[in-house]
Amino acid sequence: MHKDPQARITRRQSWEAYHRIDLHSPRIAADAAPGQFLMIRVAEYFHPLLRRPFSIHAVSGPELSVFFQTVGAGTRLLSRAAVGQGLDILGPLGRGFNLDRDLRGRRIGLVGGGRGIAPLYFLAERLQQKRAEIRIYYGGRTLQDLVLKTDFQAAGFDPACSTDDGSHGYHGMVTDLLCADWKAFAPDLLYACGPHDMLHTVGKISREYGIPAELSLESIMGCGFGACWGCVHKIRREGEAAWTKICEHGPVFPAEAVVWEEGFEER
Amino acid sequence: MTDLSVDLGFLRLKNPVIAASGTFGYGLEFRPFLDLSRLGGFVVKGLYYDSRPGNPPPRLVETAGGLINAIGLQGIGVRSFAEEILPDLEGLDTAVMVNVCGADDDEYAAVVEYLNEFAGIAAYELNISCPNVQLEGRCPAMDPEATFRIVQQVKKISQRPLITKLTPNAADVAAVALSAQEAGSDAVSLVNTFLALAVDAETRKPRLANRFGGLSGPAIKPLALRLVFQTAARISIPVIGMGGIMSATDAVEFMIAGAAAVQVGTANFVDPQATVAIIDGLEEYGRRHGLQKISDLTGTLHS
């Protein structure tokens, strides 16, 4: 984990509510693994005060990218950052997807909802290097949420898309698309990132089909490196469920370890 | 060159910058970012006798220039701390202090009694001021009598200097400080966080699961400065000042207002190297103002 006070913005691209920023930060790029994240300082002074967490979207040599949606004051400020500007970043942080095993020939479904697609690009590239068979399921509310589809296609992936309103691809939730496609692809492992109700459903599907899944959780974070204990989720570890720091022990957890609140179980 | 060391009477610090409890983990979390031996000291996260589950999320909400937290003192107990963390802190050239918590008077004493047996701790900071563990944000430091009782009981058995951490949410903070002094506290540290509420206008619900939380960060600095100033004027033991210190200038302001040393809290989240930047900044300030000793700043506010 490093602090780079001057990660220079080399390239940026914006869609309406989504943005991609490429940063030159050789040390952090060299250490980064899919599913890990950065804490980015979005203001020089103290409004907003805290850094914001962003999944690492892609790594290419000394550069890495973040892909995010404007959701509040922090992301709005970051969305206005210009090429050439330096950003103060910490990273790579957290534990990513478990790739430390033989995945050759494994059939892996990557499920991304909205901005949750961010880490799946980096993940897809690394899984391809490991000769896994992958299929990307990319869902959004509407076509305007699927801005990365062409990037995936350009990289040789052809994501199966869904929209809640039917404006593009499968009409319905991305998890419904995953089930509809089950026979055709027959995954034996799932990796997912997206809204927590989507992750909850992915966990349920993995249980029903009896295959493992790993889920990348999202949270407000105070520090990103385990000091503030602000970003907890209930996680079962060694048989016991406890509030567990997402930044340090996650953000990626095995689906069976993630405990959802009662409200989620009823959905 | 300005001498940055400060003598608290019971403890000499190489510089007046201490990382505040609850914002610095157990110290080890910051090792990737800085040399812990550069610090005047650090106070580890509050310890109860046993581990604590903490509050449900959301535990954090950011507000204008500030952060409201309701962590609820989640953490490991004294035994795990002594066995798993303390050995890793050995050999550091800095004052390692332990923030001591208790659900009742006896637990404070039990924690201190247990830790007395272990080397490598420079002082205890008595946490009688967390707003996130009792109903409606109540804490012993709101009351001079409860403060006196706990400090006196712990002082009797403590084999180390005692710093009492005070809440700004008391009717008369200086009176509570005086009470801590009379009970034998070697210093007071203030302020802990301000009891606060953040509301979600869309759902009409509190933004924190715990409803109330403690506000910290630059937003509270002027409030904290006023309390440090008034408290330092009323007591004779050293005041360790804190509340929204983000820069060396902020630290200097607290010393001028009467603090013998300072604690840096929320800034550690924003920049894990904040403490070191503040120490460097103090040196630069001392040079610019021709100070022989940084401690000459303490209590020098002109009227």
Note whether A228 contacts B269, CB cutoff 8 Å: yes
Chain B residue with CA closest to A1: the answer is B32
Note whether B29 contacts A48, CB cutoff 8 Å: no
Among candidate residues A214, A222, A219, A177, the one with its CA nearest the CA of residue A195: A219
Rounded CA-CA distance B205/A144 in Å is 31
Is the confidence at residue A262, as pLDDT, over 70? no
Note whether B65 contacts A233, CB cutoff 8 Å: no
Alpha helices, DSSP H, located in B168-266: 173-182, 221-234, 248-256
**Nearest Cβ partner for A230 among B24, B56, B59:** B59
* A to B CB pairs, distance under 8 Å: 89
Rounded CA-CA distance B84/B88 in Å is 7
Residue B213 DSSP symbol: E
How many Cα atoms occupy the beta-carbon half-sphere of B15 within 13 Å? 27
| ipTM score assigned to the predicted complex | 0.94
Least confident of B91-95, B105-109, B136-140: B136-140
B248-256 and B221-234 helices, crossing angle to 10°: 30
Q: Are B248 and B276 within 8 A, CB to CB?
A: no
Mean pLDDT of all residues in B213-225: 98
Least confident of A48-62, B129-143, B247-261: B129-143
Residues B33-71: tens digit of each pLDDT: 999 999 999 999 999 999 999 999 999 999 999 999 999
Chain A: closest CA distance from residue B34 (Å): 10
**Nearest Cβ partner for A232 among B59, B62, B270:** B59
Mean pLDDT of the residues in chain A:
96
pLDDT value at residue A266: 46
Mean pLDDT of all residues in A101-111: 96
Total residues belonging to chain B = 303
Q: Are A227 and B23 within 8 A, CB to CB?
A: yes
Note whether B65 contacts A49, CB cutoff 8 Å: yes
Residues A67-103: tens digit of each pLDDT: 999 999 999 999 999 999 999 999 999 999 999 999 9
The domains of chain B are located at 6-55+72-195+217-297
Rounded CA-CA distance A82/B131 in Å is 41
% of chain B with per-residue pLDDT over 70: 100
Among candidate residues B160, B96, B163, the one with its CA nearest the CA of residue B127: B163
Note whether A49 contacts B271, CB cutoff 8 Å: no
Residues B231-279: tens digit of each pLDDT: 999 999 999 999 999 999 999 999 999 999 999 999 999 999 999 999 9
Quick check: helix, strand or coil at residue A190? strand
Contacts of B66 in chain A (CB under 8 A): 49
Rounded CA-CA distance A76/A17 in Å is 9
B132 confidence band (pLDDT: 50, 70, 90): confident
Rounded CA-CA distance B59/A151 in Å is 36
Phi-psi region of B262 (alpha: psi -120 to 50; beta: other; left: phi over 0): beta
Note whether B60 contacts A231, CB cutoff 8 Å: yes
Q: Which is catalytic among the residues B6, B123, B130, B215?
A: B130
pLDDT value at residue B135: 81
pLDDT value at residue A155: 95
Is the confidence at residue B192, as pLDDT, over 90? yes
Is the confidence at residue A156, as pLDDT, over 70? yes
Residue B58 DSSP symbol: P
**Nearest Cβ partner for A49 among B53, B57, B62:** B62
Rounded CA-CA distance A76/B131 in Å is 32
Q: Are B134 and B210 within 8 A, CB to CB?
A: no
pLDDT value at residue A192: 98
B130 given a catalytic annotation: yes
Note whether A229 contacts B54, CB cutoff 8 Å: yes
What pTM did the predictor assign? 0.96
% of chain A with per-residue pLDDT over 90: 95
% of chain B with per-residue pLDDT over 90: 96
Rounded CA-CA distance B31/A65 in Å is 26
Chain B residue with CA closest to A234: the answer is B56
A211: buried, middle or exposed (CB in 10 Å: 19+, 13-18, 0-12)?
A: middle
Interface of B with A (CB under 8 A): 22-25, 29-30, 32-33, 45, 53-54, 56-62, 64-67, 69, 71, 74-75, 217-218, 246, 266, 268-273
The full set of domains in chain A, from first to last, is: 2-93 (2.40.30.10), 99-216 (3.40.50.80), 219-267 (2.10.240.10)
Any residues with CB less than 8 A from the CB of A91 and at least 6 apart, and which? A1, A2, A4, A25, A28, A32, A36, A37, A38, A39, A56
- How many helices, marked H, and strands, marked E, lie in chain B? 9, 16
**Nearest Cβ partner for A222 among B66, B269, B271:** B269
Interface probe, candidates B26, B33, B60, B73, chain A, greatest A C-beta count within 10 A: B60
Contacts of A233 in chain B (CB under 8 A): 57
Alpha helices, DSSP H, located in chain A: 26-31, 73-79, 118-129, 149-154, 174-180, 182-185, 196-209, 246-249, 262-266
pLDDT value at residue A94: 98
Chain A: closest CA distance from residue B278 (Å): 15
Contacts of B65 in chain A (CB under 8 A): 46-47, 49
Rounded CA-CA distance B192/B169 in Å is 9
**Nearest Cβ partner for A232 among B24, B57, B65:** B57
| Tokens encoding A233 | 């989720």
Mean pLDDT of all residues in A23-41: 98
Is the confidence at residue A267, as pLDDT, over 60? no
Residue B35 DSSP symbol: -
Quick check: helix, strand or coil at residue B46? strand
Chain B: closest CA distance from residue A232 (Å): 6
Is the confidence at residue B14, as pLDDT, over 70? yes
Rounded CA-CA distance B275/B196 in Å is 26
B119 confidence band (pLDDT: 50, 70, 90): very high
Contacts of A242 in chain B (CB under 8 A): 53
pLDDT value at residue B136: 84
Is the confidence at residue A264, as pLDDT, over 80? no
Chain B: closest CA distance from residue A40 (Å): 9
**Nearest Cβ partner for B67 among A41, A49, A219:** A49
Q: Are A216 and A62 within 8 A, CB to CB?
A: no
Torsion on CA atoms B60, A191, A266, A263, rounded to nearest 10? 0
Q: Are B128 and B21 within 8 A, CB to CB?
A: no
Chain B: closest CA distance from residue A217 (Å): 13
Mean pLDDT of the residues in chain B:
97
Q: What are the start-end ranges of the E strands in chain B? A: 6-7, 12-13, 17-19, 41-47, 60-63, 66-69, 95-100, 123-127, 162-165, 187-190, 194-197, 199-200, 205-206, 212-216, 239-241, 261-264
Note whether B69 contacts A228, CB cutoff 8 Å: yes
User: Regarding the domain delimited by B6-55+72-195+217-297, which CATH topology (the fold level of the hierarchy) does it fall under?
Assistant: TIM Barrel (3.20.20)
Among candidate residues B242, B260, B236, B99, the one with its CA nearest the CA of residue B178: B236
